[in-house]
Structure formats: structure tokens, C-alpha cells
Homo-oligomer: A and B are copies of this chain.
Amino acid sequence: MIEIRKPILVEKAVELVINHTFTGQSEIISIEACDGRRLAEPLIARNDVPSFNKSPYDGFALRSVDTLDASLDHPVQFEVIEHIGAGQVPKKKLEAGQATRIMTGAQIPDGADCVAMFEVCQSVETEEKPIIRLKRKMEKGQNIIELGSEVKEGEVLVEAGEKINPGVKALLATFGYDKVAVAKRPRVGIIATGTELLNVDEPLEPGKIRNSNAHMIASQVTRAGADYIYFGKLKDELETSYQTISEALKQVDVLITTGGVSVGDWDLLPDIYEKLGAEVLFNKLAMRPGSVTTVAVKENKLLFGLSGNPSACYVGFELFVHPIIQAALFNKRPFHKRVKAMMMDNFPKPNPFSRFVRSYISYEEDRLKVHLAGVDKSNVVTSLSSANALMILPGGTRGYKAGDMVNVLLLENDEGQAAFLPIVKE
């Protein structure tokens, strides 16, 4: 009475999908708009930093050679010939016995080779000209930040594929990148299927539910750094569904559908993949939830057939769609970061298949702890709201209990990981 599908391992499924990575595009945008985007090219220093010899303190620039005889008992005296702040250019070259009053960040005048901080100088009131006295020897180069000592022109400062955070943005500004080459956001199509679905602004009707998966997936697409195009929801009718999916596929880089992938009487996606001539990479996974998650390829474009069940849909996105988007954004670590953590709840039910359980992370001292999201409310919908991680519980003959160490995928961490690690029981 039901079609028999052969389940494959999650690791194998992830590999099949990532083999169909599509080539990301780049685009040039204004520095103002670049927050959170990923660099399409390495960030290279376009000039030395600093680009001139510079004072790190407020003080007096002078010639160290003039301080050779200075001591507590024998202060040496300097005539202050100029007064410059940051951004001002010194006009006078120092001669023997001369000093320039200089502020933090200002350019060291010619002739000077050190800066004596205010705190070590004594100002002398005279009628004619400002005089300072210094009771200690200075070394050549003391308190001078030399040209190019922080960054050399041509140095690679940030690799392509890295995310632009406030620090990277500061670097872009420092080196005059008013335009920035970033990875173009992939276009991800979203289609919800199911006769039972109402729009979010429609009143409830008997037998129907509001379409929450499309909104959830749109939010996951956004979090992953892509743009989404929502093509609406489809009733379970083959011909119109085929038409919509076929047209949508032309406009996007990848297409996500929710629902219709199981073996129910109105689950149409299998027929649609066939009608499209798409190659089905897999349609059954040895995992829970989301065992019916299906991925197909049509002319190098991936079609992700996620389950209509909200948890399965959520997990399917993070395992399979997220890394494909990251790869197209030039991220060299496209998979979610995997860490270990101690389980803080029991999960007693044994399962032959690996489970990916929505969870959240907490910290105790320097240790990571992981909690079932919504454990006190056992329902499928609300448990998603606190999730920031997926606990990996490998399949086996017994359940899990508080205190067990488990692997966890972090969903809101930018570090990422170069490979999807095998699911092995600890």
C-alpha cells in the first residue's frame, strides 16, 4: 500500500548535495551597505599604516642626540618652535635644541627622532618663547610609530569569503574601499504546498492551518545570507503545481518546496520531479525528523523538497540548504560549526535513526551545556522559538540521559566548518 524507499545516511546525503554547489556571483556595493555581507575578494592593504611617522602620545618631538647629557641633576632645555595637532602637517625642520609640541596621532616633524611625553617635560615660562626642560635621556625612535610598522601595503588582511563585521568594515574604510566587492546573495525560491494551508492574514477554517513553514524558511534563508522569492502556496493539484514549480525554477538559484514529499495520496512532489525530468538525489533519509526530505537536481539547479512538518522542515533547511548558500557566498567553512556539550535533559526514547533535535546552548563556567528547546512544552511549533542549535543523537538501541556528552551544531555562529563531520556515537 505504500511505496518503499531506501533510506541513506545523512553524511552521504550532505555529500550528494554539496557536490552540486553552484558558482557564487560577486557584485560591487557601497561601503555603507556592506554589513554582514561576505567579501568576494581578499581585503588587501592599499597603503602602509601608518602612512607617516606618527606620535602615539601628546608631548614634544625632539632629537634624541640632544638628550645625551640629560639627567635628574642636569636638565636639557629646548626651544618649542611649532605646535601641531593630528591632521596638521609640520612646517619646520628641527635643529639642535629645538622641539615641536605635538598631539597624539600627529606627524613627526623632520629632524625629530623621538617624542617626550608631557608628563616627563617641564614647561618654563619665559617672556619671549616657550621653553621646555627634560631630565632624562631619550632613545632614537622612542614613542614614534614608524611608517608601515602596523601594516605594509599589499598585505592580505582578510580572506575572501569572510563576513564583514565592524572590524572588517573599519579596515575597508582605512584602506579607502568606498566600494566593496561582495558575494551576491543567492536567490532562493520558496513554495509551500498543501490544500490545508491558509495565508497568515486569513481566519482559521475547519481542517485548515496557517502557512507557517514558508515564513519560517524565509527567515532561515535571510539568516543564511540569501534573498528569497516567495511564489505562494499551492493546492495539491498536479498540473498547476507543476507549472508553478517549473516557472519558479527559472527565476532562482535553488528552489525550496515544503510538504508533498511523503507517500500520501496527495503528495505530488515525486510526480512533479519525474515530470520535470529532475534527478532525485535521495528521497529517504536515515534520520528523524525529516526522513522524507528529498533533494533533486534539474539542469544543475537544486530542488529541496522539505517536509511539511515544521521541525523536519527547519532541520532539513539547516542540514542541506544552509551549506549550499554558504558555499555560493564563498564561505570556505560552509557547514554549521559542530561542538560538544553536556545534555541537560533526558531523551529516553531509543531510535534506530539519528535524531537532530532542536536545542539551545547555555554556559557553565567554560563548559557548554545543551538543552532541549521547549522541553516543558512538548509541542512541535513553540519548541522552535528558542532553538539556536541542533543536538545530534546518533541512532541506537537506547535513549539518552542528562549528563551524556553529545555533538551539537551551532546555528547562530559564524565560524562554520569546512566539512560535515561523521555522525558517530560518543
Contacts and interface: CB of A to CB of B under 8 A. Distances in A.
A239 interface: no
A184 interface: no
Contact of A366 (B151, B204, B339): B339
Nearest to A119: B2
A327 interface: no
Interface string A112-132: 000000110101000000000
Interface string A3-44: 000000000000000000000000000011001100000000
B51 A204 contact: yes
A105 B258 CA distance: 14
A151 B219 contact: no
A52 interface: yes
A197 interface: yes
Given A1-B123, A339-B366, A178 B166 contact: no
Contacts of A380: 150
Interface stretch (A71-79, A81-89, A249-257, A346-354): A81-89
Contacts of A197: 87
Contact of A173 (B89, B212, B362, B367): B212
Interface in A208-252: 208-220, 222-223, 235-236
Contact of A87 (B89, B123, B174, B195): B195
A103 interface: yes
A212 B174 contact: yes
Interface stretch (A62-70, A259-267, A275-283, A295-303): A259-267
A194 interface: yes
B220 A166 contact: yes
A422 interface: no
Interface stretch (A92-100, A328-336, A384-392): A384-392
A19 B361 CA distance: 30
Given A50-B209, A178-B200, 18 more contacts: A32-B218, A35-B218, A35-B219, A49-B379, A51-B204, A52-B206, A52-B207, A85-B266, A87-B194, A89-B206, A150-B380, A167-B385, A173-B200, A175-B210, A341-B366, A365-B405, A366-B368, A412-B413
6 contacts: A105-B308, A170-B385, A171-B385, A173-B212, A178-B201, A339-B366
Interface of A: 1-2, 31-32, 35-36, 47, 49-52, 58, 83, 85-90, 101, 103-107, 118-119, 121, 123, 149-151, 157-158, 162, 164-178, 194-197, 199-204, 206-220, 222-223, 235-236, 262-266, 308, 310, 314, 337, 339-342, 358, 362-363, 365-368, 373, 377-388, 405, 412-415
